[in-house]
Amino acid sequence: MSKCAIILAGGKGTRMKSEKPKVMCEVLFEPMLYYVVSAVKEAGAEDVCVITGYEHQVVEDYLAKLDSRIVTALQSPQLGTGHAVMQARSFIEAHLNDDIIVLNGDGPLMDEATINRSFAYHKENNNAVTLLSAIVENPTGIGHIKRDENGTLLRIVEHQDATEEEKLIKESNAGVYWFKGDSLLYAIDHLTNDNVQHEYYLTDSVEILLNKGENAGAFVCENSEAILGANDRRQLCDLNTIMRRNINDALMLSGVDIPCTDGVMIGKDVKIGNGTQILPNTIIRGHVTIGENCVIGPNSYLQDSTVGNGVVLDNCKVLDSTIEDGVDCGPFVKVRAHSVLKKGVHIGNFVEVKNSVVGEGTKSAHLTYIGDSDVGADVNFGCGTVTCNYDGKKKWRCKIGNGAFIGCNTNLIAPVEVGDRAYIAAGSTIYEDIPADALSVARAYQHNKEGWVIEKKPYKEKK
Ligand code: UD1
Ligand code: MG
């Protein structure tokens, strides 16, 4: 017996007014579908089948990159959530003796803990189907859980099909269900579209299995937010707010200092060490790991990067890069394209580092571009240094040795190599290699023409 999952991702999501399928609309910069896939995998689901439909190629391409083991089944046309599950028939047949969780792909707050607790409830009660529900204050538009006077589960009534009285029932269907594999197969074979929307509702499975004499139950989620989904952009914003709060709260409880959460958006897969401070307007997304006792922000953006301990990133953008211990960057710094800033590097205002390795203790305090370069340790970049890495067709690399001193306003025309401890005079344009320990001066000589201004009178006469 194992756990497996079917995720429904075929709907268009008309109310999102998006070209993308609804499940690809993002919460904290990841498609809603990402969170549902992650939750079932974290809960131990071995096989996952995603039902695609509207703009299915977009979803299939995304999933192939995310995890090639996920299988998909196409639903065309889309005739409701029950019809969507019918498309997974062969997947279900391969899992007749397993427990299958079916989830809406547009419910990104469903978490591993809720999935596991509901699974335990499902097994303890030997249910053919266990639906997940929660009490919500405004149950408009969702499925209402109908119970008899003793509280025994009867069926799910969709809002569009509900009587005025049923519309007031606050216990709501999460759109998440555990099924025994063989019971799910039986249920989809007995669904009809005899309802207001003429759709095959998966929700009818509950009544179908009860009528067959099987056990069905509702697991009421303690955390009612776990069942929330998004059908339009306002609801998407609400989900962002909730998820942002959940992540920030968990980080603060683990020892991360966020003195003001305004504009702080931190993704699910970000790890931050104890004593690190995150300042306002800082976005950290993708796979980012940050060490201890750093100060990140204000106004910083980090994506898919690794940051060591004791790092300061003030008004920085860091993409796909590694920042080692004790580095100090900013303000107004961009580090990108697999760059590595080794221990103790100082990068000051208006400096960009791209696809470069910058050695330990190197300093570039202002107005510099370090692109496609291998820079040694303890190098000093004067203000306004530019590595001229692009000849219009191809990118070339610069190599700068340990302890080199690059005078202000130097152009390094790549490919070029500056030897260890070499010294470049300010204003030089370097296009040939410089040996170690040499001084290189590559600029025009200065002529002072005495009295020239008085003689030529080049300025307009003042009235
Ligand atoms: C569904 C439930 C409702 C529940 C709510 C929770 C049904 C009939 N109703 O309603 O009881 O309270 O979720 O959010 O199931 N999808 C397909 N193919 C389709 C239709 C939908 O794959 O033909 C997918 C969608 O992409 C979406 C999910 O199924 O991820 C739910 O569809 P949606 O239309 O949002 O259902 P709700 O009206 O929210
Ligand atoms: Mg929905």
Backbone angles phi, psi at 421, to 5 degrees: 60, 10
Candidate from 67-81, 132-146, 188-202, 303-317 with smallest mean pLDDT: 132-146
What average pLDDT does the segment 419-436 reach?
98
Residue 106 Cα: closest atom of ligand 1? 30
Residue 78 Cα: closest atom of ligand 1? 23
CA of 174 to the centre of ligand 2 (A): 9
Cα 62–chain centre separation? 13
What average pLDDT does the segment 379-385 reach?
98
Residue 21 Cα: closest atom of ligand 1? 26
Q: What is the pLDDT of residue 138?
A: 86
Residue nearest to atom 13 of ligand 1 (CA): 175
Mutating to test ligand 1, I would choose from 81, 173, 206 the residue with most ligand atoms within 8 A of its C-beta, which is 81
Ligand nearest to the CA of 105: 1
| Helix H or strand E segment including 241 | helix 233-253
Find the Cα–Cα–Cα–Cα dihedral 222, 228, 234, 236, rounded to 10°.
Answer: 110
Q: What is the pLDDT of residue 1?
A: 59
- Distance from C-alpha of 173 to C-alpha of 110, rounded to nearest angstrom: 13
Q: Residue 77 burial by CB count (10 A; 0-12/13-18/19+): exposed, middle or buried?
A: exposed
CA of 221 to the centre of ligand 1 (A): 19
159 labelled catalytic = no
Residue 142 Cα: closest atom of ligand 1? 12
What average pLDDT does the segment 394-418 reach?
98
Mutating to test ligand 1, I would choose from 104, 191, 192, 232 the residue with most ligand atoms within 8 A of its C-beta, which is 104
Residue nearest to atom 28 of ligand 1 (CA): 104
What angle, 0 to 180 degrees and rounded to 10, lies between the N-to-C axes of helices 56-66 and 32-42?
40
Q: Residue 1 burial by CB count (10 A; 0-12/13-18/19+): exposed, middle or buried?
A: exposed
For the record, the structure tokens of 155 come out as: 């069926």
Ligand nearest to the CA of 50: 1
What average pLDDT does the segment 241-249 reach?
98
Q: Spot the catalytic one: 159, 190, 338, 366.
A: 366
CB < 8 Å & 24+ apart, contacts of 387-390: 387/412, 387/414, 388/412, 388/413, 388/414, 389/414
Confidence of residue 186 (pLDDT cuts 50, 70, 90): very high
**pLDDT at residue 150 above 70?**
yes
| CB-defined site of ligand 1, < 6 Å | 8-11, 22-23, 51, 53, 75, 78-81, 83-84, 104-107, 142-143, 156, 158, 172-173, 175, 201-203, 229, 231
162: left (phi over 0), alpha (psi -120 to 50) or beta: beta
CA of 81 to the centre of ligand 2 (A): 10
Cα 131–chain centre separation? 29
Core vs surface per residue 328-367: b (16+ CB within 10 A) or e = bbbebbbbbeebbbbbbbbbbbbbbbbbbbbbbbbbbebb
- Distance from C-alpha of 289 to C-alpha of 425, rounded to nearest angstrom: 40
CA of 84 to the centre of ligand 2 (A): 14
Residue 141 Cα: closest atom of ligand 1? 38
For the record, the structure tokens of 172 come out as: 């709501």
Residue-wise pLDDT for 188-201, tens only, equals: 999 999 999 999 99
Ligand nearest to the CA of 52: 1
CA of 286 to the centre of ligand 1 (A): 28
CA of 163 to the centre of ligand 1 (A): 20
| Angle formed at CA 80 by CA 78 and CA 81, multiple of 5 degrees | 115
What average pLDDT does the segment 387-406 reach?
97
Ligand nearest to the CA of 228: 1
Q: Where are the alpha helices (DSSP H) in 78-148?
A: 81-86, 89-93, 112-124
- Residue indicated by tokens 């300025």: 459
